[in-house]
Amino acid sequence: MFVLLAGVLCILDVAHSARILGVFPVASPSHHILGNSLLKGLAEKGHDVTMVSPYDDENPPRNGSYRSIVLTGNAEERQRMAKGSNIFETEKKSFSILPPILAVHIKMCELTLNHTNMQKLIHSGDKFDVVIVETFMNDAQNVLATHFNAPLVLFSALGANTWINQLVGNPQPLAYVPETFFGFSSKMSFFQKLVNTVAHVAQLGVNHLYMLPQQDKLVKKYFPNGPSVYDVMYNASILLLNSHPSTNQPVPHVPSMIDVGGLHVKPPKPLPKDLQELLDGAKEGVIYFSLGSHIKSALLPQEKRQILLNTFSKLKETVLWKWEEDSLPGQPANVHLAKWLPQQDILGHPNVKLFITHAGLLSTTETIYHGVPALAIPIVADQHLNARQIVNQRIGLSMNLQEITEEALTDNINELLTNPKYTKNAKSRSKLFHDRLVSPLDTAIYWVEYVIRHGGAPHLKVGGLDLPWYQYFLLDVIVVVSVATLVVLFVLYRSIKKISSVCRKQKKQKLN
């Protein structure tokens, strides 16, 4: 009896007081929000949590043990590297911007590994029960789990995509699964499928011929006695995805892929007094306009800014605009500005009738959570795919920034405000989001603890991870079957030719 009780207590101890390292190195506030939400949740469950991030935590959890290791200067360095580039012009440049983007990711990965605070951690001798790494073109950092002799959990700020599917052997049927950076739906035309296939092959080529060799150099530089990147890239016990069928297109998932989309979303809280009074008093309703934490609407081209101002000035609704500067020339009376706004709490206010958004994944998730129709103006990356989802789910409309006109913008806003189907569909989609056995945060916490309890989860890995690429794609089978078929055809051809020759000779003899 005593032995049994001791065993139970050991299991509970592992489940409730594990040492957890979370590495979320991406210098983007939205990425930090996701990682911080997960690690705070783990700390509040009683775990001893260490978070590595470019940002300090202004509101650490009240319960549990939580340590923040800040990669000081990395966020500023990322901004410096982006200085001089206009994010609103990237759509025009297409694939020409890919090389500098890849170079930035490699540079930021090295800045993380080389950072003084990270080096102190690496050489600290600390022990961890699990290492959680945000995967975002930084495969070299997966070696941290091997270094600390702990199971690896990967976290993706996106849903399933080419870059991460290969890490867990997840199938990606190109006939209906579009690449993340295209705004294609699952029902692609022939030309779209052709483009999708070429882009997929190109991404795999870039990853295996350029990115992974560069990442391997970083591993050898900072972990000279450690494994290669190719030895650790498939080590993940589970992969947590910031996705869910209510917000993303349904795609295949292997057992080690866990949907936790929306883990950062919380029920609305009371707003600051001035905002509460503004929204409560907006009898005609409120339109909330924000391009997110990374894209600054103050950098919008002058022409597009003026179109927005002219359109908003004609509306009877109150417009709440996240604007990063002290003033806005030509600001209409019904437009109210703020450099920062509590977006989730605003979207939860009953008077908010429309969300004009860049369609970032966090913003898209939040508008679905709160059941608010959206007008998407995607700028870069996965925003085009998210905007397509908003349209496909009939919870909103989408506009290309380069093609926005005052007339088109006015028509779309009026359509969304006056046609009740968008609000109805948004509320219905919100119900799908909420209809889960447990919350997304509790789901993520459960699976992290699951990996800790079992010392990893190798039983969740699919057999495809152990196959060479030519076997995975059945090239060996195809070659054998093709050769066998050719041999059979050749034998038949020779046989028929010989029989034909004999028949001709016999016929000739009869005639003679």
Q: How far is residue 364's CA from residue 247's CA, in Å, rounded to a whole number?
A: 7
Q: How far is residue 196's CA from residue 482's CA, in Å, rounded to a whole number?
A: 28
Smallest CA-to-CA distance from 19 within 450, 449, 351 is with 449
Its CATH class, for the domain covering 15-263+439-466, is: alpha beta
13, with CB counted inside 10 A (0-12, 13-18, 19+), is: exposed
Using DSSP, state whether 478 is helix, strand or coil.
helix
Q: How far is residue 504's CA from residue 497's CA, in Å, rounded to a whole number?
A: 11
Its CATH class, for the domain covering 273-434, is: alpha beta
Smallest CA-to-CA distance from 41 within 436, 449, 348, 362 is with 449
Contact 321, 337 (CB under 8 A): yes
Bridge partners, residue 289, by sequence = 321, 356
Pairing of strands 236-241, 257-259: parallel
Pairing of strands 65-70, 396-398: unpaired
Smallest CA-to-CA distance from 374 within 385, 359, 360 is with 359
Do domains 15-263+439-466 and 273-434 share one topology? The answer is: yes
pLDDT in tens, the chain (512 residues): 434 444 444 444 445 689 999 999 998 888 999 999 999 999 999 999 999 999 988 777 777 789 999 999 888 888 787 665 556 665 555 555 567 778 888 899 999 999 999 999 999 989 999 999 999 889 999 999 999 999 999 999 988 888 899 899 999 999 999 887 777 878 889 999 999 999 999 888 888 899 999 999 999 999 998 899 988 889 999 999 999 998 888 899 999 999 999 999 988 888 999 999 999 988 899 999 998 877 777 778 888 889 999 999 999 999 999 988 888 888 888 989 888 899 999 999 999 999 999 988 899 999 999 999 999 999 877 788 888 889 989 999 999 888 889 999 999 999 999 999 999 999 999 999 999 999 999 999 999 999 999 999 999 999 888 888 788 888 899 999 999 999 999 999 988 888 888 887 777 776 66
Give me the pLDDT at residue 439, please: 94
Using DSSP, state whether 62 is helix, strand or coil.
coil
Q: How far is residue 205's CA from residue 58's CA, in Å, rounded to a whole number?
A: 41
Domain limits, the chain: 15-263+439-466, 273-434
Bridge partners, residue 318, by sequence = 286
Bridge partners, residue 484, by sequence = none
Using DSSP, state whether 133 is helix, strand or coil.
strand
Specify the pTM.
0.86
Tokens of 496: 């028929």
Give, in order, the Cα–Cα distances in Å from 299 to each of 259, 288, 303: 34, 18, 11
Give me the pLDDT at residue 129, please: 96
The total of other beta-carbon atoms located within 10 Å of residue 216's CB is 19
Q: Which amino acid is at 506?
A: Q
